[in-house]
Amino acid sequence: MTTPVDSSPPGSAGPQGAPEPPPYDPSAALSVRGLWKRFGQKIAVSGVSLDVPAGSFYGLVGPNGAGKTTMLSMATGLLRPDFGAAWVHGVDLWARPDEAKATLGVLPDGVRLFDRLTGRQLLTYAGMLRGMDKDTVVERTGDLLQALDLSADADTFVVDYSAGMTKKIALGSAMIHAPRTLVLDEPFEAVDPVSAANIRDILKDYVAGGGTVIVSSHVMDLVQRMCDHVAVLAGGQVLAAGTVDEVRGEQSLEDRFVDLVGGRQHAEGLSWLRGS
């Protein structure tokens, strides 16, 4: 009987014949080595190794199906990898999960919130889950509601929030315990420009104060303006990684991304599509 790939423990070297990944970087906010994940016959992530410098604003970009969400889920302990390992500020995520996750604030993509709570209750619940004392939770909840421009809606059920408000309250839940690193999967998706600007300001202040932000996004211009480091993923692999200037070279980040990923289609077959 063939042993399924999913039974292999995190930290194993990788599939037979895969190259040995380099040693991890203990100084990095997040260091992943040789991450693999298969769903049925599809390999979603194949041997990803990546280092996120502490104090950086790190962008993760790639087309739909590139493996961004799967990689981030494995790197934050939300999904068990088939092979590979991750370290958060030098702490092995799978060997010492409680210690590693205590320094992380995570905003997953597509994970439902407890939306039958009010905004205030949700932030309070997130803080109590982190083991914070009640007085600190109350104080930080008020600070976050004000900073996120949600004070007027603090006692409204989250299910009645707009998409932008929901993203902001989810961000607040990820930040309430003052993590050293924030991992945000598509935080600007379906968010209006005003809410997006508020979120960007909060994240910039957080990085200026010594925090690390890892953000995935499809919006190249946003990543180019906001991030100082970037990695390009496609087909479950890292195609390029480094500072934004190193990756884009003399091009815009969007043009460099298209060159790396490929797939631009020409429209000769739509000659019938003409404006009247």
Distance CA 213, CA 83 (A): 25
Percent of the chain, pLDDT > 70? 91
* pLDDT number for residue 216: 94
* pLDDT number for residue 64: 85
8 falls in which pLDDT band (50, 70, 90)? very low
Rg (CA), the chain: 20
The 10s digit of each residue's pLDDT in 74-131 is 999 999 999 999 999 999 999 999 999 999 999 998 778 899 999 999 999 999 999 9
DSSP 131-163: T--HHHHHHHHHHHHHHTT-GGGTTSBGGGS-H
Average pLDDT over every residue of 9-35: 81
Distance CA 269, CA 80 (A): 44
Under a CB-based contact definition with an 8 Å cutoff, are residues 95 and 86 in contact?
no
Distance CA 71, CA 31 (A): 12
Domains belonging to the chain, first-starting first, are 22-103+180-260 (3.40.50.300), 114-178 (no CATH)
| Spatial CB neighbours of 266, under 8 Å, sequence gap ≥ 6 | none
Distance CA 185, CA 108 (A): 5
Only one residue has tokens 């429209």, namely 267
Asked if the model's pLDDT at residue 45 lies above 70, the reply is: yes
Asked if the model's pLDDT at residue 6 lies above 60, the reply is: no
Average pLDDT over every residue of 54-76: 94
pTM beyond cutoff 0.85:
yes
The 10s digit of each residue's pLDDT in 153-212 is 999 999 999 888 898 999 999 999 999 999 999 888 878 888 888 888 989 999 999 999
Distance CA 172, CA 53 (A): 23
272 falls in which pLDDT band (50, 70, 90)? confident
* pLDDT number for residue 51: 97
The 10s digit of each residue's pLDDT in 229-239 is 999 999 999 99
* pLDDT number for residue 266: 66
* pLDDT number for residue 5: 41
